Amino acid sequence: MTNCRVMVANTPMDYDKIKIYAIKAKVESINTMAELEAAEKEKMANKVEKIVKYGPTVFINRQLIYNYPE
């Protein structure tokens, strides 16, 4: 490849992993849990949009990339 745009990142790419350390969260309903999951998915979509907007030809990430950025 020539004239590549390479992006090297160290960012979590897993919207389905809610990261809360040393905290217990109580959810009142399945709807609330669905809202949390939707918010996490939207957060990941925004991150992916920013990466795509940069226009990398090659994307290297030090962390795992899960199924959202298919």
pTM (two decimals): 0.66
Q: Over range 31-55, report the average pLDDT.
A: 85
Question: For 59, which DSSP code?
Answer: E
Task: Read off the pLDDT band of 58 (50, 70, 90).
Answer: very high
Task: Give the up-direction half-sphere exposure of residue 38: CA atoms within 13 A in the CB hemisphere.
Answer: 6
Q: What does the CA dihedral 49, 54, 55, 59 come to, rounded to 10 degrees?
A: -80
The domain locations on the chain are 6-61
Specify the higher pLDDT residue, 57 or 40: 57
Cβ atoms of 13 and 70 within 8 Å: the answer is no
